């Protein structure tokens, strides 16, 4: 029913070489958008581009670069805008985490996670917003946060801090630009089937353990996150800004209370 929802729209997806970012890029292309794919590995991005349906009147763009580095972001934003002939939607999806007991966390690991998950959101948002203001355009941003925006994640201090920050980046930018037609929201996934989670997904014991903590008793699919990202940038959501939408099978509902405590 949604077949051409994004026809004529130009979308940049960061961290699109695999996992949720790849699913987001695929959904936009399936619904008629032209997509710019960011990630650090150009070969992987080309492989993703080859899987996307072709777009009328243009080509999907490879916009490789490190999203936490200012020079890279300026260059890849320009390449995206030039290559697509504009930009309507920015999806800040790139992110990563490094595990460590917090008493042993290495400063460079902590700062590394913050630089990708926080600075790597600020930089493309800044460049896109500048472009939209100069061109007096209406536009939308979605940032990929996590349930760990609100659920603590021991052993992942940098990740927890970064996703908490994302919630406030979205609310602050939403307020700053609401009157100028730019909407800014976040999606906060729970446990999703992606390459980084395959170790527990393929282990029946671990899978059972993870699923038992999720009220819907299963991990989510990347496509279910992509569906929500699309919704937050489509005509279906034109009055929504500054929100984080949790897409987690009920994980943030304090699952233990399901057992009818009195
Ligand atoms: P993934 O590791 O499969 O993909 C991450 C993508 O980001 C890759 O394309 C990677 O190349 C890219 N990336 C990492 N650092 C980058 C950098 N410096 N510059 C450019 N690109 C970079 O991860 P995923 O599971 O698909 O996660 C995507 C987003 O979803 C992340 O922000 C993550 O925090 C969030 N998330 C994932 C889950 C989950 O269960 N998978 C749950 C909650 C939130």
CA distance 122 to 128: 10
113 pLDDT more than 80: yes
CB 94 within 8 A of CB 120: yes
**pLDDT band (50, 70, 90) for residue 1:** low
3-state secondary structure of 112: helix
Instruction: Provide the pLDDT for residue 259.
Output: 81
Catalytic option among 131, 156, 159, 177: 159
Residue 258: band (very low, low, confident or very high) from pLDDT cuts 50, 70, 90: confident
Is residue 40 in contact with ligand 1, taking CB distance under 6 Å? yes
Ligand 1 centroid, distance to 95 Cα (angstroms)? 4
- State residue 58's pLDDT score: 93
With a threshold of 0.90, tell me whether the complex ipTM lies above it.
Answer: yes
* pTM greater than 0.90: yes
- CA 262–ligand 1 middle distance (angstroms): 40
Q: Is 13 exposed, middle or buried (0-12, 13-18, 19+ CB in 10 A)?
A: buried
Domains and CATH numbers, the chain: 10-248 (3.40.50.720)
Q: Is residue 241 pLDDT above 90, yes or no?
A: yes
* Whole-number Å distance between alpha carbons of 21 and 92: 9
Average pLDDT over residues 33-59: 97
Return the pLDDT at 262: 67
159 is catalytic: yes
Q: Is the CB of 189 under 6 A from ligand 1?
A: yes
pLDDT confidence of residue 57? 87
């Amino acid at each position: 029913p949604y077949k051409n929802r994004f026809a004529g729209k130009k979308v940049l997806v960061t961290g699109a070489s695999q996992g949720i970012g790849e699913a987001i890029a695929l959904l936009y292309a399936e619904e008629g958008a032209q997509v710019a794919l960011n990630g650090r590995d150009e070969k992987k991005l080309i492989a993703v581009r080859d899987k996307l349906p072709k777009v009328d009147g243009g080509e999907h763009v490879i916009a490789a670069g490190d999203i936490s580095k200012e020079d890279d972001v300026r260059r890849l934003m320009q390449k995206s805008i030039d290559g697509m002939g504009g930009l309507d939607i920015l999806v800040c999806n790139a992110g990563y985490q490094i595990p460590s007991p917090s008493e042993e966390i290495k400063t460079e690991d902590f700062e590394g996670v913050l630089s990708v998950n926080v600075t790597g959101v600020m930089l493309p948002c800044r460049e896109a917003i500048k472009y939209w203001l100069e061109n007096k355009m209406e536009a939308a941003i979605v940032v990929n946060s996590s349930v760990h925006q609100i659920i603590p994640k021991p052993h992942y201090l940098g990740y927890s801090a970064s996703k908490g920050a994302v919630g406030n980046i979205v609310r602050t930018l939403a307020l700053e630009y609401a009157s100028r037609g730019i909407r800014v929201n976040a999606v906060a996934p729970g446990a999703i089937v992606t390459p980084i989670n395959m170790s527990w997904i393929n282990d029946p014991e671990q899978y059972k353990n993870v699923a038992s903590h999720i009220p819907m008793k299963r991990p989510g699919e990347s496509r279910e996150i992509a569906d929500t990202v699309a919704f937050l940038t489509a005509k279906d959501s034109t009055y929504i800004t500054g929100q984080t939408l949790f897409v987690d099978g009920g994980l943030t509902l304090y699952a233990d209370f399901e057992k009818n405590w009195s």
